[in-house]
Amino acid sequence: MVAMGQNLTPQLLVEFVNDGGNIFIGASPTTSESIRDFLREFDIDLPPRDSLFADHFSYHPDSTRNHTLVTLDMDNFLDLPHVKSIFSPATRAGKVVYRGSAHGLGPLPFILPLVRGKKTSYVYDGKEDLDTVEEPYVAGTQAFLVSGFQARNNARVVVSSSLDMFSDEYVPNNGTINLPRFYSMHTDGGKNVNKEFADDLTAWAFHESLVIKSNYIKHHAHKSSEINPEVYRVGDPVTVSLSLSAFNPETGSYIPFSNPPAYPVQLEVIMLDPYIRTALPETTTTATETIYSKTFALPDHYGVFNFKIQHRVPGYTYVYEREQFTIRHRQHNEYPRFISGAWSYYAGWLSVSGGFLVFCAVWLYHTPKPEPDSMKKTQ
């Protein structure tokens, strides 16, 4: 996308994303201000017009003197879990031919950086003389070439600072590219993976990969057959289960989702603030789903609560589940007859009562001895 019509404003594109729409943007040095304003909404900042990305140590043999035709390899992919999930190992091991610019990223947590420049790269004004570049717009690993954004509603936005890299010109028929002479000590060539790169990137952008869904959330009292009751008692043990599935783009069906250990499925029992926060371990796997479940005791506090699951794995669609229920106090006939922790008080009560009875018995049944007659006469 290079330009937009007058009626297609950045505000309309933001509304489209808010409604769950996905957008893929291929930027260029001549990208319009409307696109720039739209990307600023996501904390993605494109450089000024006519800016070019250059690298004098990773350029393509067909590049001109300014070395703006570069070759991207494994070192350009960020070593992050979501990057390894989006791009296949073959894509990350190949070579991508790139010509365009770069962009800067802000601190917004929903941004997913994917591909960036090396330490020897920089972005400069293409109108300036290459020998007089003193203050590049962005340089080194802060120059991002491809980035993604996933909103809370799972809408995805992908921005590539190169539109040319997706053209047929950058996918040779023989499938290989020749590298510069200084690469000879490391490798003797590499496969051109521009097509595979584009396939992986567009699959993620349009929800064909890394899509997970929640099938259901179930909860019930321990040793009870009633599913998702509306009322529990304080302190009752409950079992909460969540079913997750992942979309398989090869078959077009859903398969079990194996959650990464670094991002456990977390359950919260909340009123206004969380009273319980615990991880749900994986318990059962079927042909189409993985079930995460745990049994725990409810808080000793009555009121209206929620079971809340907000599962976020970078690169994957977000899972949000919320179930409302009520915790009531125990009725008078539901308390135990004797409380095990109060036996010391019971013993104290029994000892005081027993002592009082003994005192009363002694007082009532003890008769004092009469005085002898001799003592009476003396008095």
Q: What is the pLDDT along the chain (379 residues), one digit of tens a residue?
A: 444 556 678 999 999 999 999 999 999 888 888 899 999 999 999 998 888 998 888 888 877 777 889 999 999 999 999 999 999 999 999 999 999 999 999 999 999 999 999 999 988 887 766 655 667 778 889 999 999 999 999 999 999 999 989 988 887 665 555 555 444 333 445 788 999 999 999 999 999 999 999 999 999 998 888 999 999 999 999 999 999 999 999 899 999 998 888 899 999 999 989 999 999 999 999 999 999 999 999 999 999 999 999 999 999 999 999 999 999 998 878 777 777 778 888 899 899 999 999 999 888 887 777 767 665 555 5
Could you tell me if 200 and 319 lie in one domain?
A: no
CATH number of the domain within which 311 lies:
2.60.40.1930
114, HSE (Cβ side, Cα atoms, 13 Å):
28
The whole-angstrom separation of Cα 31 and Cα 276 is 49
Asked if residue 149 belongs to a domain, the reply is: yes
- In this predicted structure, what is the pLDDT of residue 131? 58
Asked if residue 263 belongs to a domain, the reply is: yes
Closest CA to 160 of 113, 192, 196, 207: 113
Domain range spanning residue 291? 212-332
Residue 34 burial class via C-beta count within 10 angstroms: exposed 0-12, middle 13-18, buried 19 and up? middle
**Residue where a domain terminates, one of 312, 332, 352:** 332
**Residue where a domain terminates, one of 205, 220, 238:** 205
- In this predicted structure, what is the pLDDT of residue 281? 95
Asked if residue 328 belongs to a domain, the reply is: yes
Could you tell me if 23 and 141 lie in one domain?
A: yes
Could you tell me if 195 and 251 lie in one domain?
A: no
Asked if residue 5 belongs to a domain, the reply is: no
DSSP state of 251: T
> In this structure, are residues 24 and 81 in contact, taking their beta carbons and an 8 Å threshold?
no
Asked if residue 353 belongs to a domain, the reply is: no
Asked if residue 379 belongs to a domain, the reply is: no
Number of domains in the chain: 2
Could you tell me if 95 and 223 lie in one domain?
A: no
Closest CA to 298 of 241, 232, 225: 232
**Residue where a domain terminates, one of 205, 230, 248:** 205
- In this predicted structure, what is the pLDDT of residue 284? 94
> In this structure, are residues 347 and 330 in contact, taking their beta carbons and an 8 Å threshold?
no
The whole-angstrom separation of Cα 122 and Cα 142 is 9
Could you tell me if 133 and 269 lie in one domain?
A: no
Asked if residue 347 belongs to a domain, the reply is: no
Could you tell me if 37 and 186 lie in one domain?
A: yes
Could you tell me if 74 and 219 lie in one domain?
A: no
pTM: 0.81
Position 162, amino acid? S
Pairing of strands 176-177, 156-160: unpaired
> In this structure, are residues 67 and 54 in contact, taking their beta carbons and an 8 Å threshold?
yes
Could you tell me if 198 and 263 lie in one domain?
A: no
Could you tell me if 22 and 90 lie in one domain?
A: yes
Name residues whose C-beta falls within 8 Å of residue 94's C-beta, 6 or more positions apart in sequence.
73, 190, 191, 192, 193, 196, 197
Asked if residue 164 belongs to a domain, the reply is: yes
Could you tell me if 69 and 150 lie in one domain?
A: yes
> In this structure, are residues 149 and 111 in contact, taking their beta carbons and an 8 Å threshold?
yes
Name residues whose C-beta falls within 8 Å of residue 41's C-beta, 6 or more positions apart in sequence.
10, 14
Could you tell me if 218 and 199 lie in one domain?
A: no
Could you tell me if 142 and 226 lie in one domain?
A: no
Residue 174 burial class via C-beta count within 10 angstroms: exposed 0-12, middle 13-18, buried 19 and up? exposed
Q: Specify the length of the chain in residues.
A: 379
Name residues whose C-beta falls within 8 Å of residue 205's C-beta, 6 or more positions apart in sequence.
22, 23, 24, 148, 156, 157, 158
